[in-house]
A and B are shown apart, each in its own frame.
Chain A
């Protein structure tokens, strides 16, 4: 028999860690989705698809800006020492993924704004008429548009990767300590963004393209989840315990039903039928993908905090 008793009962630490509530999963989800939108929009600019009517690259920047601001507000709400938030920008800590993230977010805004200025919404032009001068200048320089596209893809990629690395560098939480986590969050971000564009796209070709791309991302996501779990199962005892949280533990029902089932497999089947013209495109599958992506972040953040090294402590 092995028994461990402790007199410690610190709030949000014991009996298992819950220091990160809803704010961080929401932030990671939105960050991933915005990253995906930037990559998609950047691709449209780079591949000259922006010349097509109703290209999503004109609507995505304003949506990205709004979503990113919501995500950063969630991150701000999570801080316990809010008045000191400016400290993030008085230094750069190379070993801290959170420091990288803070600076990446600062760089992301101007890049999205550059994309936005290509075709700003009417209310912006009405309020700031001089914007149209910048818009004209950008649209007269196709190479500049391509460069804005590349910058969007690059920064979007960095943002998506960072949301996963933020957690995976924490070796103290065995479930997060997987080199596959950033791939999972990046692919999930791309998949939710593709689902979103699929849902809002006015251009029929674009909708088809995004549905096909989303099917690709969802398929890759299944393999990445499988590889991440295999990686944990073939590692140390504590990592195996961490994998079991998702496979058969407390988080298994939510993970398999809402993330894998409703968030990946069912929408994948629906979208495969849609792209093969067996059924019509509907918002059902994209909504399921987006909800699945959100629940994935909740499950990973919550289960990761629950996973710990204590099992290894028992001799």
Chain B
């Protein structure tokens, strides 16, 4: 079974927020909330400044504190692609998973359940790419099976310098940023 992950090339990302808009449109994300967002990290001192633009979302971690803290099993790892999901009608809205995520990737949907990126599973199941990946005008985002050494994502991770977000938190995130 696949283990889906994402690779984002920060050398190509221009922070246009197309991925953000696509996600909101595709998933009917309520007004005022985001399942994905853009973070700009600036390091250094003029003229030696390093700028990295990151399209961020739930990292669909291998070690999932959001799943282990859930008292009802609403928050779970789906067998298909090991995608981390929330079953809406099982979620009681206790917000433990929201607090347990070191990336602050979750929020409480106004309807009461914990909400987050689903890797657009409804699209991926049909063989399509997640909405954010499919609309990226610079083609900086890649999606695929991390367990398949021949997949594009695996090859990019193997060949390019990359990092994940907050690896110190020990969650083994599955979104890689090429630098």
Contact = CB atoms under 8 A, between A and B. Distances in A.
Binding between chains A and B:
yes
B169 interface: yes
B147 interface: no
B107 A12 contact: yes
Given A6-B38, A309-B166, A98 B90 contact: no
Q: Name the prevailing secondary structure of the A interface residues.
A: loop
Contact of B39 (A5, A17, A305, A315): A5
B72 A172 contact: no
Interface of A: 1-14, 17, 19-20, 78-82, 84-85, 87-88, 90-91, 93, 95-99, 101-102, 169-173, 236, 238, 305, 308-310, 312-315
B96 interface: yes
B71 A19 contact: no
A172 B165 contact: no
A313 B43 CA distance: 12
A95 B100 CA distance: 13
A7 B69 contact: no
Contacts of B26: none
Contact of A20 (B99, B107, B166): B99
B168 A84 contact: no
Nearest to B53: A5
Contacts of B112: 80-82, 84
15 contacts: A1-B45, A8-B34, A8-B56, A10-B32, A11-B33, A17-B99, A19-B99, A81-B112, A87-B90, A93-B73, A170-B99, A171-B65, A238-B168, A309-B102, A313-B165
Interface of B: 17, 20, 32-34, 37-45, 56, 65, 68-74, 89-96, 98-102, 104, 106-108, 111-113, 165-166, 168-170
Contacts of A88: 71-72, 92
Contact of A79 (B56, B93, B101, B170): B93
Contacts of B34: 7-10
Contacts, number: 160
Contacts of A90: 72
A36 B20 CA distance: 49
B108 A12 contact: yes
A171 B102 contact: yes
A80 B86 CA distance: 14
B94 A79 contact: yes
A102 B40 contact: no
Given A4-B40, A82-B93, A95-B68, A312 B113 contact: no
B32 to A, nearest CB: 6
A2 B43 CA distance: 5
A126 to B, nearest CB: 38
Nearest to A2: B43
Given A1-B44, A171-B169, A313-B166, A79 B99 contact: no
A76 to B, nearest CB: 10
Contact of A236 (B37, B43, B111, B168): B168
Contacts of A101: 71
Given A99-B71, A171-B102, A84 B39 contact: no
Given A8-B37, A95-B69, A169-B69, A81 B99 contact: no
B111 to A, nearest CB: 8
A315 B42 CA distance: 10
Nearest to A315: B43
B71 A81 contact: no
Given A84-B91, A309-B102, 4 more contacts: A4-B42, A81-B93, A170-B69, A172-B101
Top 6 nearest A-B pairs (CB, nearest first) are A80-B93, A8-B37, A81-B93, A81-B112, A98-B71, A99-B71
Contacts of B106: 13
Contacts of A102: 71
Given A11-B32, A14-B104, A95-B69, A19 B92 contact: no
